[in-house]
A and B are shown apart, each in its own frame.
Chain A
Amino acid sequence: MTDLTLSNQAVTTQPAPPNEATAFRFPMQWIGVAPFFIFVLMFLILPTIYLVLGAFQNGDGQLTLDNILQLVSDPSISASYWVSIKISFWSAIIGAFAGLAIAIAIVRGGLPNWTRSATLTFSGVASNFAGLPLAFAFLATLGRVGIVTTLLRDVLNVNIYAMGFNFLTTSGLIAVYLFFQIPLMVVIIVPAIDGLKKEWGEAAATLGATQSQYWRMVVIPVLWPSFLGTVILLFANSFGAIATAYAFAGPALNIVPIKLYSQINGDVLHNPQLGYAIAFGMIVITGLANVFYIWFRTRSERWLK
């Protein structure tokens, strides 16, 4: 709490008369944002840098690439990255398109007004309904004694577990993650679709565009940056998610965040440097995704001009 009180004082005891001499102006300018920058530096940026530097050092502090190489050479670690990337990628892609379809249906589909407000309200809730309770809900539904599982078994005589269904497979986790991915897409993309002006459609029609040309040349280019940005957000969202998967299988499931969790808890690897490397790998992957996003966006913005 030390820094908290410090930053408080920085705000409250700051005298700053309205028009001070120019010589004092520069530092005064910065005092208003100082608590913010001190906070993010101490509790967001420095801890991250600390891990990144640690990933390139051995236990004695010498520079080395061994930790990073171990990410690739250790089959269980590289497999966990691969599984995590697959889950995040597909849950982001499927979630994005499903969310887009729902958003278009409620905004442009000519449905009654209540569907729109109901969907938006529900999406706001569901996009924040993640973690352990989400896992509990799916276990109650599709777990071995879940309601839907037993209904299917008793009424339709279908045993989904005999058919190979399992939450701990890639597709099982994707299906669960969609419960927060789709609503998140809806929440973000609906305002973007609202931003499509009626005049554009009319202008396109006046110029003789077909419906498909209107979509291809107007709607998709306009929605593209926010759509892509949300896909990236969804990817990062599921890439770092741990609680839902942890509730299904505890530390047994081999995805990166659980691997790191076990490592921090001292269950498995007993090598902090390797933990740094795993964390570094996670930052690199979500960071790369964002670089792609920025690159795509600048391209599409240039094109839009």
Chain B
Amino acid sequence: MKSGKFWAWVVFIVGAAYFFIPLMATVEFSLRMRRGVHSFDAYQIVLGDARFQSTFLYSVIAAVFTIVLGILVVVPAAYWIRLRLPQLRPIVEFITLLPLVIPAIVIVFGYIRMYGSNSPLPFLASNMGANALLVIGYATLALPYMYRAVDTGLRTIDVRTLTEAAQILGAGWSTIITRVILPNVLIAVLSGAFLTFAIVIGEFTMASLLNRPAFGPYLQNIGANRAYEPAALAIIAFAITWGCMSLIQILSRFAPKSANRPN
């Protein structure tokens, strides 16, 4: 057992070195813009860049719309499958896994061909349409995470009893979903939302191929043309991802733990 513990330490330390050396080196590199001294110049330049602000804002807005769309698509379906159509569960689970199998670039290629300006549904003919298509594409990418998060949340509440109680009190379906089910799975939905945010914020492939002024293409542009700013951007991106994940962890402490009657 003693040698087992020794090897566990070896594995842990080697792993930690592989992950921490690049991060520390990136921090160090990002501080080196001014010759001879450490400074936050690279960060100042990046954060002061008007293109940074506009593309970042664009991506934040896209992420918010993605989350709303994801909730609208996933929550009613996951709820309904738990309540009435459990036989559909394997099919829906399979479908929600597809975006992990079909690469994002293939999905967006399909969009470009199917919803081009000459198609019956010309999303790409207008700016707003292209924005909408980007949000739709992001919602597709986030589908596996959103569905799993919501489904896990629904598992911890007694969907059937809550629904029946609401119905007895005279609630319609929209009331049931927005005022009974959604508040109960809110924490799960928010976890899915923050994960979606982390995935979407720096996404490059879809934004670039749909020609959107998003944060991902901006990152690519800076990466190709500057030396120190990309390192600063990498640290900023890491901090954003870290923030999203921490929020998910904090939220999970508030999530209901017990499954009253697991289906």
Contact = CB atoms under 8 A, between A and B. Distances in A.
Given A48-B106, A261-B205, A272-B113, A7 B72 contact: yes
Nearest to A286: B101
Interface string A27-66: 0011011011101100111111011001000000000000
Interface majority SS on A: helix, strand, loop or mixed?
helix
A131 B26 contact: no
A109 B102 contact: no
A247 interface: yes
A47 B110 CA distance: 4
A8 to B, nearest CB: 6
Interface majority SS on B: helix, strand, loop or mixed?
helix
Interface residues of B, number: 92
B231 to A, nearest CB: 4
Interface stretch (A72-80, A120-128, A191-199): A120-128
B9 interface: yes
Contacts, number: 278
B234 A134 contact: yes
Interface string B102-114: 1111111111111
A108 B11 CA distance: 12
B219 interface: yes
B18 interface: yes
**What band does the interface of chain A fall in when counting residues whose beta carbon is under 8 Å from B?**
35 or more
B77 A109 contact: no
B15 A179 contact: no
B219 to A, nearest CB: 4
Interface stretch (A165-173, A220-228, A236-244, A297-305): A236-244
B209 interface: yes
Nearest to B8: A109
Interface centre among B79, B105, B203, B227 (most CB of A within 10 A): B105
B39 to A, nearest CB: 16
Contact of B12 (A14, A106, A141): A106
A260 B132 contact: no
B12 A109 contact: yes
Contacts of A133: 202, 219, 233-234, 237-238
* Top-8 shortest CB links A-B: A109-B8, A47-B110, A240-B103, A32-B80, A36-B77, A140-B29, A133-B237, A147-B25
21 contacts: A4-B69, A8-B72, A16-B173, A39-B139, A40-B140, A48-B110, A50-B113, A51-B106, A105-B15, A108-B4, A110-B5, A133-B202, A136-B231, A139-B230, A141-B26, A141-B29, A179-B22, A264-B209, A279-B106, A279-B110, A286-B101
